[in-house]
Amino acid sequence: MSRPQFLRDFWYGLSSNQRFLIRKLYYFPADLRDKFLGKTHKYVPSRGDIYTGSPASATEYIKQGELHLQHLKQYIDLQPDDKVLDIGSGVGRSAIALSTYINQNGSYDGFDVVKQGVDWCNNRLGKDFPNFNFKYVPLFNDLYNTSTLKATEFQFPYEDASFNKVFSVSLFTHMTIDEIQHYLHQIYRVLKSGGYCFSTFFLFDETDEAHISIQKDFNFPHKFKDYRLMNPNVVSGNITIHKTKLKSMITEANLELVTIVDGFWRGQNEVEDRNEYQDIVVFKKT
């Protein structure tokens, strides 16, 4: 979901704590109504506590997670007994759907930079599914927190070759180029040989760069080498990367690009068979 650009500029001008508080207050009436009408779900946080993506009703939140599961099955052949890593696990949007799919022979691990999301997941999903584990990592991100540890210095808290499937949804849209490159190297390290990774990005090339720089409500007007930003003062707000640059970054991490599937965020690409807003990128460790 997009919002007018002036609202995005205002939003990104706030501190992370201010954004959390405003979201909580704004959605309080809807959350109170959901509770009164019995439209809550054990594993779904209130709208005011959903800090990634669009806040949604419990029904819609679960539907979004099921779409993520569908994509993982379609693009990286996710199996019930896979060892899975979710980078940027948020408040369990994907994990809820995976909890009914990953069996006791498989496992799910997720980590996130927002403690309240990790605590929610551990207190709900983690208690009911012992093979689901969530970790908080205190990394700096000017969109979500003010921690001091840099993402470029962060080592994923898992052994080499621990997972045969890795995924991230709307993670690399909120990181700098250097941070993304470092994470690609870390993905290579924790993936087993032959393992796959599914991630979403905002990507562009010469055919649509002019369009995405001026399109209504959701645009990237600030140009830099090989990428564009929505707001230069909040570098983790939203970033779009040139496709050629991303391909070279994947190669530099010794990973192999499998496919890029355009999403419909550009507006002019919206067609019935595209059900993911962001661009899907699949790569693997050979």
User: What pLDDT, in 10s, does the model give residues 123-176?
Assistant: 999 999 999 999 999 987 666 666 778 899 999 999 999 999 999 999 999 999
**Nearest of 128, 130, 125 to residue 44 by alpha carbon:** 125
Q: Tell me how far apart the alpha carbons of residues 230 and 220 are, in angstroms, rounded to a whole number.
A: 4
* Protein fold of 58-284: Rossmann fold (3.40.50)
Instruction: Take residue 114 and report the two structure tokens written for it.
Output: 């927002």
Mean of the pLDDT values across residues 95-118? 96
**Nearest of 118, 85, 70 to residue 188 by alpha carbon:** 85
Q: Tell me how far apart the alpha carbons of residues 246 and 259 are, in angstroms, rounded to a whole number.
A: 12
pLDDT at 1: 44
Residue bearing the bigger pLDDT, 38 or 12: 38
pLDDT tens-place string over residues 223-281: 999 999 998 887 777 999 999 999 999 999 999 999 999 999 998 655 555 678 999 99
Largest Cα–Cα separation, the chain: 53
pLDDT at 267: 82
pLDDT at 146: 66
pLDDT at 231: 87
Provide the strand spans (E) within the chain: 83-87, 107-112, 132-136, 163-168, 191-201, 203-204, 222-224, 227-229, 239-242, 256-261, 279-284
* Of the candidate ranges 8-12, 116-120, 205-209, 259-263, the one whose mean pLDDT is the lowest: 8-12
Q: Tell me how far apart the alpha carbons of residues 186 and 179 are, in angstroms, rounded to a whole number.
A: 11
How high does pLDDT run on average in the chain?
A: 90
Report pTM: 0.89
